[in-house]
Amino acid sequence: MDFGKLIDISKVNFALPPDHHHTLPNLQKLHRQPLALEVFVGCPVWSCEEWVGKWYPPKTQSKDFLRHYAQQFNTIELNTTHYRIPDFSTIDKWRESTPATFRFCPKILQTISHTQLLQNADLLTNAFCESVWELRDHLGICFLQLPPYFAPDKLHILENFVKNFPTQIPLAIEFRHEAWFIHKKGIAPFDLASQILENEQISTVICDVSGRRDVLHQCLTTTTAVVRFVGNSLHLTDYQRIDEWIQRIRLWQENGLEKLYFFMHEPDNVLSPELVVYFITQMNKVCLLKLQKPAVYTQNAQAKLF
């Protein structure tokens, strides 16, 4: 992911900012007892040839990548839907290739978000939703990535879009334009947007990336958190950042967080599984969970999840 990418990270303050003032009250208000925290951790791709022989069995063919991916991870940031709407036969293959516990998180078509800017796109939006709805129990949460040129003066357009988005499909929204996070007289446009999302029960996407610390808004509008974490080739700070994220998630868990989607990005994503293993190990230790970790395949034995 090129958004917010830096060549030199030596001067970046990677500390997580405090939570948005709405986050803990929202969790406490919306939490429904008794529910255990559901955690879905994955990558933004399943087609990675470099994983063959390590995270996939030796000699795995590309047609089998998804099946083996779903044995190692329990969710995918589904970026392919950003470029085309999959037909029903493709959806069926995806669903049949993955276990019942697996969740696809489709990214909304860029023609809707970037070309049409959420306007005059009713037919496309309906077609997109009809397609991903066929994932059935395998549908996690859709996410709408607003383009970097979608500024706060278009808030009314966003409000109209979310009010008309099918309520049966979970949705989260990622904000990128810098102006959303600029405070004037103690309030930022993002504060107004987040209130609309809270009213419509739409989640936010939190992006943790080196070059855009402003998008790390730490605002939860529902009891579902969606985090896109962008590492730096397993630099020491990647692990330090994960450690801090675990502590923050623990706080959210204690205050009513019900569902977490955590997507791990690394350059070319070859190293993403290593950070997933570390994340899950620490989650199990700190948050007292029993999440399955991806396992490395060896030449002499077929790996098993543990």
- Per-position pLDDT tens, the chain of length 306: 778 889 899 999 999 999 999 999 999 998 776 678 999 999 999 999 999 999 999 999 999 999 999 999 999 999 999 999 999 999 999 999 999 999 999 999 999 999 999 999 999 999 999 999 999 999 999 999 999 999 999 999 999 999 999 999 999 999 999 999 999 988 999 999 999 999 999 999 999 999 999 999 999 999 999 999 999 999 999 999 999 999 999 999 999 999 999 999 999 899 999 999 999 999 999 999 999 999 999 754 444 443
- The pLDDT, as a whole number, for residue 299 is 56
- Proportion of the chain in helix, strand, coil states, percent, rounded to 5: 40, 15, 45
Q: CA distances (Å), 88 to each of 11, 129, 168, in order?
A: 48, 12, 19
DSSP symbol at 115: I
Query: For residue 184, what are the contacts with CB-CB under 8 A and spacing of at least 6?
Result: none
User: What is the CA 21 to chain-centroid distance, rounded?
Assistant: 22
For the chain, the domains span 36-286
User: What is the CA 30 to chain-centroid distance, rounded?
Assistant: 21
Starting from the edge strand earliest in sequence, which strands make up the sheet with 142-145, in order? 103-106, 75-78, 38-43, 259-265, 224-230, 203-208, 171-174, 142-145
Helix then strand count (H, E) for the chain reads 9, 8
Q: Give the domain 36-286 fold.
A: TIM Barrel (3.20.20)
- The pLDDT, as a whole number, for residue 9 is 94
Contact 43, 269 (CB under 8 A): yes
Is the entire prediction scored with pTM above 0.75? yes
Q: What is the CA radius of gyration of the chain?
A: 19
Contact 50, 65 (CB under 8 A): no
Contact 266, 272 (CB under 8 A): yes
